[in-house]
Structure 1
Amino acid sequence: MFNFFKSKPKLYSDLNSDEFKKGLSNTDAVIIDVRTASEFQSGKIKGARNIDIMGPGFLNQIKNLPKDKKYYLYCRSGNRSGQACEVMTENGFENVYNLSSGISGWPYDIA
């Protein structure tokens, strides 16, 4: 009867830490940390590139990425990276993955 609360399906996948770590071994995997530069400097997943979702150039930086890669995004808790995944899928990216627990739930080494 009411379709007000009908949400559109997610076009990205939320992964737990083990699934995320396994995905990072793909040769075409790109790891993106969407936290602020200071958060990024405090510790990151090895190989991650910092593109701050709150930064003024976020959308332009995302649009310049090749669409044929697999993108693994994370933040502190999984919220900002989920938003960033949504932006990426809205801009034509098909292989986008979110670390659902964020780096705060990452049980592996950080750099």
Structure 2
Amino acid sequence: METLIIIAIVVAFFVWRMKPAKGTKAISTSELKTILNDKDKYFLDVRTPAEFKGRNIKQFKNMPLGSDFSKVPKDKEIVVICQSGIRSSQACKQLKKLGYEKVTNVRGGMSAF
């Protein structure tokens, strides 16, 4: 019984971490493919430089989680991706706190692409 409670807590924690920030849009990787050439969007990859070097989408700029996101343009919609969607969700929350209005998280990240 204790094991089930612990598993439930762990699952709840990961679900909470994946929950998008208030006002953040979430899209699937198939939706991402349809907008990759949109010049009104800024594509941000928050994985480590090594992850980015190993495999990336050319439209995305690499700025690892923990970077100074204030350098990201505020006049465009920001589309954020990571490996699984967890770090990009955290980055979206940070961007919203910095005053970015149009922020989109890619669900599932590169693992789903």
Report % sequence identity. Answer: 34
Instruction: Tell me which stretches of 4 or more aligned residues in structure 1 moved more than 4 Å.
Output: none
What RMSD, in angstroms, separates the aligned Cα atoms of the two structures?
1.9
**What is the number of residues matched between the two proteins?**
95
Question: In the superposition, relative to structure 1, how do residues 8 and 37 fare at CA in structure 2: closer, same or farther (>3 Å)?
Answer: closer
TM-score with structure 2 setting the length: 0.76
- Within 5 Å, which residues of 2 pair with 1:99-110? 99-106=106-113
Q: Is the 8 A contact 1:24 1:72 kept in 2?
A: no
Question: In the superposition, relative to structure 1, how do residues 41 and 88 fare at CA in structure 2: closer, same or farther (>3 Å)?
Answer: same
| Greater displacement, 81-90 / 7-16 | 7-16
Unaligned runs of 5+ in 1: 1-6, 107-111
Per-residue CA deviation, residues 72-105 of structure 1 (Å, 9 max, x unaligned), is 1100000000100110011111111111111010
Q: Give the structure with the higher percent helix.
A: 2
What secondary structure is seen at the aligned counterpart in 1 of 2:111?
helix
Q: Does 2:35 align with 1:35? A: no
